[in-house]
Amino acid sequence: MTTTNQSASNIPSLGVGTFRLKDDEAYDSVTMALNVGFRHIDTAQIYGNEDAVGRAIKDSEVAREDLFVTTKVWNDKLNKANFVDSVQESLTKLQLSYVDLLLIHWPSPENGESMEEYLGELLRVKEMGLTKEIGISNFTVAQIEEAVSILGEGVISTNQVEVHPYLTNEKVRAACDKHGIVVTGYMPFAVGKVLKDDTIINIADKHGVSAAEVVVAWELAHGLVTIPSSTKRKNLETNFKAQTLTLDADDIARIDALDRGDRQADPDFSPAWD
């Protein structure tokens, strides 16, 4: 069975997201994704589906060492009192002894804890062997700089942020690039919006592929990791197949030009975006 490409770090460049998927829906999506060939599964404490994801992984025939599993610590756990326990609880639900990547989900600790405190806990969890790599999510340029000043260069594996043709997030991507941090782009389809875009449909027609394949191929062409989600096997297969699509420079430039700052994920605790 085909496996996904590796990015500049050890993160497989194409994964499957599980945001908004619950119970059997999460179980079925991960099961189908593994059958299609995905080996990178992304979840989070707040998604409420770590147990379903864990069951799907356990019930699959894929060896643990062939999988790359990511989870994220939620805002109310970003402190010395709760951080490690929350990760151990995640591992229990996932039925794993470690995750491959652990992220700070938002730089928005519920009780105003310092970044030094929660990044210190993140590093501690890595030293305990509960995760192989550590990273951040939804961090702004200033927060990336602060995080690197706390942990040092080469420690942060990725910054997982919203990236799609309508929000190319270039300032954050440039800041990550400067520090050798891989960018993981979530919501690549902007909740389906970009799949209806005339430019993307036009490029898809030119290559004889779907709009989704074009969007995923665009993310991969920029060296991003991306984690589209789907509950339909056909869509999972299409997303996976995007790895074989090569866009030309004109295609990429036309998609880049669609940027309009159209952010989908903007909860009230979000940082001041760049």
Question: Is 207 annotated as a binding-site member?
Answer: no
Torsion of Cα atoms, 102 then 103 then 108 then 110, to 10°:
-10
Residue 47 is among the residues annotated as catalytic for this protein: yes
Question: Which pLDDT does position 8 carry in this prediction?
Answer: 44
Spell out the domain ranges in the chain.
16-189+225-230
What pLDDT is attached to residue 6?
42
The per-residue pLDDT for 7 is 41
- Domain 16-189+225-230: top CATH class: alpha beta
Q: Pick out the chain residues at pLDDT < 70.
A: 1-9
pTM (predicted TM-score): 0.95
Q: pLDDT value at position 31?
A: 98
Active-site position among 27, 47, 118, 166: 47
The set of residues, in sequence order, having a beta carbon less than 8 Å from that of 54 and lying 6+ positions away, is 93, 94, 95, 96
Q: pLDDT of 41-82, one tens digit each?
A: 999 999 999 999 999 999 999 999 999 999 999 999 999 999
